[in-house]
Amino acid sequence: KQEVTQIPAALSVPEGENLVLNCSFTDSAIYNLQWFRQDPGKGLTSLLLIQSSQREQTSGRLNASLDKSSGRSTLYIAASQPGDSATYLCAVPTQGGSEKLVFGKGTKLTVNP
């Protein structure tokens, strides 16, 4: 059974700091991994999707890496800004290329001005 864990559960940093969010999953036979952002009371915004054949994906100040063999992914945020404050969620398919996503509980990030 696929399980996703995100560490830390909460993180508070000063503006401008570079930071890393961690995600681990138990079943490494996945086709992809997706990172989302959720603002309070809002829906999810897809940030990055990494295919299993890729090791990393970049979008602006965000860089996500994937190590399937160890069951881990990291989301790196460079030069953090107060607008980055949100909960970041990691999700993987339940198995292989399944369309059902299993989510971690998220990392709540606060960037202080």
Q: Is 16 exposed, middle or buried (0-12, 13-18, 19+ CB in 10 A)?
A: exposed
| Gap between the Cα atoms of 77 and 70, Å rounded | 22
Least separation in angstroms between CB 100 and other proteins: 4
Least separation in angstroms between CB 44 and other proteins: 4
Binding site for other proteins (CB under 8 A): 4, 31-32, 34, 36, 41-46, 49, 89, 91, 93-94, 97, 99-106
Least separation in angstroms between CB 21 and other proteins: 15
